[in-house]
Copies of this chain bind each other. A is one copy, B any other.
């Protein structure tokens, strides 16, 4: 019970930040002497600190403010993207203490090369920051088995059957959790982003490929063997463009980054910066009409199948014009039987932007850490 309360308290501080003893007691349904004992224990372990709040409210002695100490538990978060790897050291409470990133090209996309680079970078950053990490979370754009970090297929990386979790654990000597990028985006939005108050939501990850992470009844949705779905490979345009997955007309081929580039009159493989600049400078919004139609069609399908109350558009989609996102949201509400039933599914862009998967990878790594602190 004490262990359970301690973990609940830590999770509350980690997710929502500093809070007074009084608020913590009220929120967790514990009496003040229990909170005091727990906070004192965590304070002695250096996991939290206390201070008198800057602003006093009301009369009487102020309740002390309890602050999570970032260096008390640091995890390594890694976001493997198609064009880039981003890495962050993230402290208790969610602060990103340090970052590194490097571009991937065909040669350096080899799993062995990626692992070597991750390990070297992690060692340098640990030295620079003078911290010892206690866990690792990795986001991969592909079909991933959560139990052991096996990457079954990550087609845009040209990875197949990569034992990423096991291989990283062997060299980093730390517990490693590997998740699908869209699932981790959903986790990040649920914990720190647009979906904090939503228990039924879908996060759409839009990079070169398009994926979806789903939380229903507050739990991540997974299929057989713990695999996460591949929403981007829903066929929406039979006879359409050939996709690397073997099908034609996958949603991803109509709404992924190359499709957006074509709509904007850019080369298929234009750098992200150029795509974002073109979106910001867009004179004629009608250029994106067809793109918006396909986006709305796929989202309406997803809403009809899963029934979320909220869809969060991540990554590249955070650069879409607000008017486009709004009109897509309206179409989804009109077109989906299930949206009408659930009271109108909202479509919004991610406030976490490009960091969503990194944040999600950190939260994945923190899950076992918070239990053990």
Does A59 reach chain B (CB closer than 8 Å)?
no
Q: Which residues of B contact A247 (CB under 8 A)?
A: 300, 335
Q: Which residues of B contact A216 (CB under 8 A)?
A: 221-223
Most chain B CB inside 10 Å of its own CB: which residue of A143, A222, A227, A335: A227
Shortest CB distance A217–B (Å): 7
- Mask: chain A, 30-45; 1 = CB below 8 Å from B; 0 = not: 0000000000000000
Q: Are A342 and B300 in contact (CB under 8 A)?
A: no
Q: Which residues of B contact A336 (CB under 8 A)?
A: 233
Q: Are B224 and A342 in contact (CB under 8 A)?
A: yes
Does A230 reach chain B (CB closer than 8 Å)?
yes
Does A94 reach chain B (CB closer than 8 Å)?
no
Q: Are B223 and A307 in contact (CB under 8 A)?
A: yes
Q: Are A306 and B229 in contact (CB under 8 A)?
A: yes
CA distance A338 to B183 in the complex (A): 15
CA distance A216 to B227 in the complex (A): 11
Q: Are B143 and A338 in contact (CB under 8 A)?
A: yes
Task: Number of A interface residues at 8 Å Cβ cutoff, please give it.
Answer: 49
Smallest CB gap from A200: residue in B: B224
Smallest CB gap from A251: residue in B: B301
CA distance A227 to B307 in the complex (A): 7
Q: Are B338 and A235 in contact (CB under 8 A)?
A: no
Q: Are A225 and B341 in contact (CB under 8 A)?
A: yes
CA distance A302 to B230 in the complex (A): 10
Within 8 A of B (CB), among A172-206: 199-200
Does A153 reach chain B (CB closer than 8 Å)?
yes
Does A49 reach chain B (CB closer than 8 Å)?
no
Q: Are A305 and B224 in contact (CB under 8 A)?
A: no
Q: Which residues of B contact A48 (CB under 8 A)?
A: none
Q: Which residues of B contact A309 (CB under 8 A)?
A: 223-225
Q: Please state the number of chain copies in the assembly.
A: 2
Shortest CB distance A194–B (Å): 15
Task: Pick the contact of A229: B222, B334, B338 (CB < 8 A).
Answer: B338
Shortest CB distance A361–B (Å): 20
Within 8 A of B (CB), among A271-304: 297, 300-302, 304
Q: Are B338 and A223 in contact (CB under 8 A)?
A: yes
Within 8 A of B (CB), among A141-155: 143, 145, 152-153, 155
Q: Are A223 and B308 in contact (CB under 8 A)?
A: yes
Tell whether A225 pairs with B343 under 8 Å between CB atoms, given A301-B235, A304-B230. yes
Shortest CB distance A237–B (Å): 7
Shortest CB distance A372–B (Å): 25
Q: Which residues of B contact A212 (CB under 8 A)?
A: 305
Q: Are A307 and B233 in contact (CB under 8 A)?
A: no
CA distance A306 to B143 in the complex (A): 12
Q: Which residues of B contact A58 (CB under 8 A)?
A: none
Q: Are A234 and B308 in contact (CB under 8 A)?
A: no
Q: Given A224-B307, A233-B304, A236-B236, 17 other A-B contacts at CB below 8 A?
A: A145-B341, A152-B340, A155-B337, A221-B306, A223-B338, A224-B309, A224-B342, A227-B307, A229-B304, A229-B305, A234-B234, A234-B304, A235-B297, A235-B300, A238-B297, A245-B335, A245-B337
